[in-house]
Structure 1
Amino acid sequence: MPVKNRISRCFIHLVDFKNSKEWYKKMFNFKVASESNSHIVFKMDEGPSLTLLQAQVDHITPLPYSVFFFETDDVEKTFQEFKNKGAKVDDIEPFGVDMRGCHVYDPEGNMILACTLGEE
């Protein structure tokens, strides 16, 4: 099969691109690989990049769950940093046996999960 066994990029489409883009920069402090008036690509240390795109519609209903998560070694510190930066963030909760995480919401209501992996 010509499709490669890896994920290349994760896309998030944003209606209020300018405001939401700044929120992502503030919350995550990731390195910017490229940026324009209609997109920004954040370079990740490992795995796929995160790309924010200007939506081509006037309204997007956010999903009621996160579709990926950012790994953290210290979910308590991550939770507190989100709160200190003024983000809407849910309490820390367990996910399965060895994972714990918290959801943070971007200005458009997209749910992003920050999670520990536990012992492997």
Structure 2
Amino acid sequence: MNPIKNEIGTVFIPVKDIKKSKAWYCDLLNLPETDNIVAGHLYVMPMKGTGVVLDSKIYSEESVYKWPAFHFDTNDIEAAYSYMKEKGVVLTTAIENGHWFNFKDPDGNLLMICQ
């Protein structure tokens, strides 16, 4: 029997300033922002499904995502794109193929939203 599950538990995002990044992501995703920073460099975001952990210890310019390692889901790609524009988020693509677009977080991590 294989002891490794075919599921992803958590994705780590390298961030420069854990407090600023925590505030930015919680605002973007409309998540409650707690004070629970672990070991001075980790913030476990309260997500549904696969977890996301912001980690300032692994941050370097070389570790920043140059391509999306995962995507955030949406049920309305047009509304998500408009929302990101209104928030002043750096959008790096238009809506592609009618179902996804890329953006950057304040540290330059390239991320994706997909319907």
Q: TM-score, normalised by structure 2?
A: 0.82
Please tell me the residue identity of whatever aligns with 1:26: D
8 A Cα contact 2:17 2:56, kept in partner:
yes
Q: Please name the residue that 1:101 is paired with.
A: 100
Q: CA deviation at 1:86?
A: 1.2
8 A Cα contact 1:15 1:60, kept in partner:
no
* Cα distance change, pair 56–67 in 1 and its aligned pair in 2 (3 A): closer
| Aligned-partner SS, 2:23 | helix
| Match of residue 92, structure 1, among 85, 92, 95 | 95
- Residues 1-120 of structure 1: matches in 2 within 5 Å? 1-31=2-32, 35-36=36-37, 37-45=40-48, 47-56=49-58, 59-61=60-62, 62-89=64-91, 90-94=93-97, 100-116=99-115
Q: Which runs of 5+ in 2 are unaligned?
A: none
Q: Deviations over 1:11-54 (max 9, x none)?
A: 11212222222211121113558721422212322x21111112
Q: Which runs of 5+ in 1 are unaligned?
A: none
Structure 2 CA distance for aligned equivalents of residues 78 and 56 of structure 1: 29
8 A Cα contact 1:41 1:52, kept in partner:
yes
| Cα-Cα RMSD | 2.1
Structure 1 CA distance for aligned equivalents of residues 34 and 6 of structure 2: 23
More strand by share: 1
Q: Deviations over 1:72-91 (max 9, x none)?
A: 11011001111111111131
Structure 2 CA distance for aligned equivalents of residues 33 and 50 of structure 1: 14
